Amino acid sequence: MNVVVEQFSAAFDDVTTQPGYISRQVLLKVLNHLDASWTTEGLELLLIDCGCSTNAPIDYCKFLQWLSQPSLVELPLKCRSERQRSQFLREQWEPFQEEVENLLQSTAARADAGFSLHEIMPSHLRLRALTDKCRSLTETWHGRANISYMYEMFMKMAERDGHSCYLFQDIPQQRSDDGFVRVLDGEVRIRLYSRPKAASHSKTSPLVGRMPQLAGESPIDNLQLPNLMRQKDALLVTVGRRIQQFFLWALRWKQRRILGKMFSMQSGRQDCAAVKARAQSMQEGDDSSVALNLLVEHGCLVESYGQVPQVIRTRADEFIAECLQRPEGELDEELADFLKHCQINPGRPYKADRVGHKLLLLKALRSPELRVMWRSDVEAFTQHRYITTTWIRKVPLYYLPDGSSDFTILRSPGAEESSRFRKNVFAYAESHGLGQSGGGGVDREDRVLEKFCCPQRKLRPNWEGTRKFRVTPERIPLDQGLQNQVKAKASHE
């Protein structure tokens, strides 16, 4: 015992003479005597969390106070008693899991029922609320937040957004014994990607009640659709949408009358199979009634304009477009170039000048030929969705300018940043998503931010923000393996 005490006291031989402070080298010796697994890197991470990010001596009174904070002393829930763990899973995690899985099922049901493509995915507001809840629950369980379960379920929802050529569950695959390696049938994927897509509208058909989903420099730049457009195009999107909904309301009204005749002596909701059988018997070979035909097909009231037969939609859209025609005036050269820029590069400042961009937006607001729509309104016509998360930078972001040998720090540790995750259009795995540190995000219930607040000088020049692919192995031994995972949590770290 005396030998241990002497070795421990020897660690303080080179302690600084400044009272109340201790050097990093001495602190590392102390920690090594307590636990030989401590390393310089581990100490650095500990001190960064403590707020001691410089090379100055450490105020050990503040350091000990920080160590004794309840959030650090209190063990995460996964390390507590079986009763506490079971209670948490039963009362908090499983209801959350059920809520997310119900949302996945409703998303799949909308896709299978033929809803319009921009009506399939949940709203950004709903996804943001669930992501925040997932972060809170996993922080309680692990001691640190983890949104991997929400990310996994979001990827499954995104397979239904109308851009994917297939569902991954339908692709033949083989896995290694440990589940880490997966081999997909490339021939099947090639055939599915190369087959011609059945376009819902011809290229000459007007865009009524919907917006083109291609924007930006590549097929993955479609999370933020242009909100500046010609007045005639805005009328087709907004007023056209209202007319489509009125047409849908009229169809539902006719269907209710038909159902009233079918089940005049019965009350309550009828089974879909019974509705289909009765409707088919009423048809008697006459398919002139659109409302009755839809009852035969779906067995329930029509819910989306996308469920209306393609031929009927095309005729209706052409009629609406003809009624909403208006003479198109000329734009001056600057506004015309500004409109073209916003259509091709939504979200990017015109000529890299944010002030000039805002001035031109004000000029566009005054123009009778242009319309500036709210981002939240544009979201209603966007097929893609994304989930957002905020995080604190732990290490600096370095950039090496061309022709220079010195790195430049673009973003320093301690800064709060935001990232968004979406499903890549060209997904080669179920969870193949893309993280982007710029772009729109839900700010509050009634609006979507146009851009995260990040100055242009703090972005790398090759991208509008840092884009990174998620590596998503099936099994990886983190946190003492998979036994500490909450139920249905994916292995994304």
Tell whether 128 is covered by a domain. yes
Q: Residue 280 and residue 274: Cα distance in Å, rounded? A: 10
pLDDT-above-70 percentage for the chain: 76
Say what the pLDDT of residue 334 is.
92
Both 117 and 60 in one domain: the answer is: no
Q: Is the same domain home to 91 and 61?
A: no
28 & 68 share domain:
yes
Q: Are 133 and 472 in contact (CB under 8 A)?
A: no
User: CA nearest 229: which of 324, 322, 340, 357?
Assistant: 340
Domain boundary among the residues 27, 56, 73 is at 73
Least confident among 32-46, 67-81, 353-367: 67-81
What pLDDT does 441 receive? 45
**For the chain, counts of helices (H) and of strands (E):** 17, 14
Residue 444 inside a domain? The answer is yes
Beta-bridge partners for 376: none
* Least confidently predicted of 75-84, 156-165, 434-443: 434-443
Check residue 476 and give its pLDDT.
Answer: 35
Question: pLDDT tens, 292-314?
Answer: 989 988 888 999 999 999 999 99
**pLDDT classification of 63: cutoffs 50, 70, 90:** confident
Same domain? For 87 and 48 the reply is no
Residue 311 lies in a domain: no
Query: Is residue 180 situated within a structural domain?
Result: no
Q: Which residues 6+ apart lie within 8 Å of 25 measured at CB? A: 14
**pLDDT, tens only, 143-173:** 888 888 998 899 889 888 887 777 878 888 7
Q: Which of 250-259, 470-479, 481-490 has the highest mean pLDDT?
A: 250-259
Please check whether residues 423 and 390 belong to one and the same domain. yes
Domain end marker among 53, 73, 93: 73
Q: Does the pTM of the predicted model rise above 0.95?
A: no
**Total structural domains in the chain?**
2
- Looking at the structure, tell me whether residues 90 and 141 fall in a common domain: yes
The pLDDT value recorded for residue 221 is 65
The string of DSSP codes covering 284-302 is TT----HHHHHHHHHSS--
Which residues fall within 8 angstroms of residue 64, CB to CB, at 6 or more apart?
A: none
CA-closest candidate to residue 279, choices 293, 289, 290: 293
Is 230 inside any structural domain? no
CB atoms within 10 A of CB 96: 17
Dist. CA 198–CA 185, nearest whole Å: 23
CATH code assigned at 35: 1.10.238
Q: What is the pLDDT of residue 205?
A: 67
Give 317-326 pLDDT, tens digit per residue.
Answer: 999 999 998 8
* 105 falls within a domain: yes
Q: Which of 10, 38, 73 is at the close of a domain?
A: 73
Residue 89 pLDDT: 93
Asked if residue 278 belongs to a domain, the reply is no
CA distance 362 to 338: 12
Whole-number percent of the chain with pLDDT over 90: 28
* Same-domain status, 35 and 116: no
* In a shared domain, residues 102 and 151: yes
State the alpha helices, DSSP H only, in 288-412.
Answer: 290-298, 310-323, 333-344, 354-366, 375-379
Q: Which residues of 268-288 are buried (b: 16+ CB within 10 A; e: fewer)?
A: eeeeeeebbebbeeeeeeeee
Q: Are residues 393 and 470 in the same domain?
A: yes
Residues 452 and 473 in one domain: yes
Rg of the chain on CA atoms, in Å = 29
Range of the domain at 41: 2-73
Q: For residue 47, is it within any domain?
A: yes
The reply to whether 60 and 125 lie within a common domain is no
Q: Do 90 and 143 fall into the same domain?
A: yes
